[in-house]
């Protein structure tokens, strides 16, 4: 999961910080400013909703309801889902290849064992 500090700094550096929102499956540090939505899952790499968003799509963000909606027709979304193909693995050997094959998604703790992580201090 990539850290987004460089991306948010770039957005503000171009004077766009109050005009755009950043939606990502990446993570943020304490220095993030503006409308930034991170840790979005399921991640785009596995064909989640973010994989189907294209440049120019309008997205409604309702922070209070903890909801995001891409504002396109259901038929268009279905066509995009049908046409989506996964990217080939970037690492074909070694530890990173093994990690990519075994790691679970972020909501389950991004761990390399079956099942979600057990975080007893979170409720």
Query: Which residues are marked as active site?
Result: 29
Residue with tokens 């007893």: 120
How, if at all, do strands 36-37 and 67-70 pair? unpaired
Cα 6 to Cα 13, 31, 33, distances in angstroms: 10, 10, 12
Evaluate the CA torsion angle 112, 118, 119, 123 in order and state its sign.
Answer: positive
């Amino acid at each position: 999961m990539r850290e987004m500090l460089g991306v948010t700094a770039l957005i503000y550096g171009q004077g766009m910080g109050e005009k755009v929102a950043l939606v990502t499956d990446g993570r943020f540090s304490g220095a993030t400013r503006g409308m930034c939505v991170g840790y979005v899952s399921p991640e785009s790499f596995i064909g989640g909703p973010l994989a189907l968003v294209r440049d120019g799509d309008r997205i409604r963000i309702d922070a209070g309801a903890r909801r995001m909606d891409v504002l396109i027709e259901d038929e268009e979304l279905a066509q995009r889902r049908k046409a989506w193909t996964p990217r080939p693995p970037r690492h074909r050997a070694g530890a990173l290849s093994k990690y990519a094959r075994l790691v679970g998604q972020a909501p389950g703790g991004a761990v390399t064992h079956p099942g979600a992580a057990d975080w007893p201090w979170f409720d």
